[in-house]
Amino acid sequence: MSANSPFAILQDFESRCRANAAGLPTGEVVEDDWIGIGFGLCGQRLVAKMSDVTEILPPPDTIRVPGVLSWVTGLANVRGTLLPILDMGAYLNGEFTQPGKECRVLIINKNNVIAGLLVEEVFGMRRFKPELKEESSISGVDELNPYLEGGFSDTQFKWNIFDVEKLVSHEKFLRVV
């Protein structure tokens, strides 16, 4: 076969490509950012995992349920589903959340507990590098401490991580009567 045949040219091209090719990327594990929803509760800035909050709504109209604790605002019809709306400020420290433009309801669905958590304000999505997670939580509200799981700091604020799983597993939260 001639050195100038099309097949020989392709073989030469292939051998030069293989010799100069970069290797495959190494199997380095790239850790994804920690993403959550920032919100205000009891004057504190908190963040809950994005996967724990299914929806954020303005406070819906509720129907009061007789015989439940005062922090249970009532039941709301959210797209055909009856959902308990729970005032988190009243639950934690007895101070009811003042209605206002900033108030929002975080819809959670964790461990078969579906509820709306009324909070003072929602700050939107927050993204943090996992390696910057701090193991200790700093809160000025002792009632929040059982539900915190460390925190993150950004350029302006300290964000305590609010663990929704700890909330829905807590005996006090599950007993509404």
**Residue 23: inside a domain:** no
Is residue 57 classed exposed, middle or buried when 0-12, 13-18 and 19+ CB atoms within 10 A define those classes?
A: middle
CB atoms < 10 A from the CB of 88, how many? 25
d(CA 123, CA 34): 16
**Residue 17: inside a domain:** no
d(CA 122, CA 159): 13
State both tokens at 45: 């800035």
* pLDDT mean over 21-43: 81
**Residue 4: inside a domain:** no
**Residue 19: inside a domain:** no
**Residue 154: inside a domain:** yes
* pLDDT mean over 86-115: 94
For the domain that residue 114 is a member of, what is the CATH number?
2.40.50.180
**Number of structural domains the chain divides into:** 1
> Would you say residue 125 has pLDDT above 90?
yes
**Residue 114: inside a domain:** yes
Is residue 89 classed exposed, middle or buried when 0-12, 13-18 and 19+ CB atoms within 10 A define those classes?
A: buried
Better-predicted residue by pLDDT, 26 or 71 = 71
pLDDT at 27: 63
d(CA 101, CA 19): 65
Non-local CB neighbours of 146 within 8 Å, separated by 6+ positions: 166, 170
**Residue 7: inside a domain:** no
Range scoring the smallest mean pLDDT among 86-95, 101-110, 118-127, 128-137? 128-137
**Residue 144: inside a domain:** yes
Segments forming the whole domain that contains residue 71: 34-174
